Amino acid sequence: MTVVQAAVIQLSSQDDVNVNLGRVRELVLEAGRAGAELVALPENFAFMGEESKKCQIAERVDEHPAGPIVSTLRLAAREAGVWLVAGGMPEKSPDSDRPYNTSLLFDAEGRLVSRYRKVHLFDVDLADGTKLLESAATMAGDEPVVEEITSRAGEPVGLGMTICYDLRFPELYRRLGERGVRIVTVPAAFTLTTGKDHWHVLLRARAIENQVFVLAPAQHGKHPRGRQTYGKSLIADPWGDVLAQCSEGEGFAMAKLDFAAQDRVRKSLPCLTHRRMT
């Protein structure tokens, strides 16, 4: 198999949707110019603010004409000529007070290919005073999502979609692995408190357990309501090595996903074929 150049974008999104979307477009185009063919955005890329306001900006992702968030994503993917995974955004649901937290996949022509609605919702009361009740303002999804992207060489590549808190539930990643994915995306807005201890460990574990590439774009820095996120957006390989990682602030990290190397890992350590419990 060939390789795919992938980039993870790190943002510090605030509560101004237009400003956030402008920054999204800039960085997607910059990653495309740098050679990326697959680009991933973090969770909450369009808005980080009061949970109640998410209802006001929630969009139906398949409506025509498209809303401002989906329109920006389509345009950015098409202009940059990249496959684009857009981390969690508010998608209208049957409950007008609780939109889905949805990750979207666009092809290089800007066409919406697939969507994943976050299954596991983040309800916590942390020791540092951070209190988050995602389920109060978000409706959970119920299905894993696997899609095929196409490399520039024309080869299909299986991609599994997850979001943030999903990372703590290995059974989801096992189900994706059973469906033949080579890449898993984990757009996130990990808190500083949990991120500093668990971010790298969990991402590398999911990569090793399932022998997949993990793309984890993240939010970084201070946001409204006193929220602070960890950052460290990264790309990990099937051996668990971190191939690329963002430093502080906004930007992107890029790495080559070598699928022949992935095949060698799977052949030399065929643990996925040794499973006795399902």
Question: Could you give the residue numbers annotated as active site?
Answer: 43, 118, 164
**Amino acid residing at 66:** A
65: cis peptide before it, omega within 30°? yes
Length of the chain in terms of residues written: 278
Torsional sign, CA 179, 217, 61, 165: positive
Q: Contact at 8 Å (CB) between 38 and 85?
A: yes
Tell which residue, 81, 101, 95, 224, has the closest CA to residue 161: 101
Residue pointed to by tokens 């890449």: 183
The first and second tokens of residue 217, run together, are 């774009």
Show Cβ contacts of residue 178 under 8 Å, excluding neighbours closer than 6 positions: none
Q: How far is CA 230 from the centre of its chain?
A: 15
Q: Contact at 8 Å (CB) between 128 and 193?
A: yes
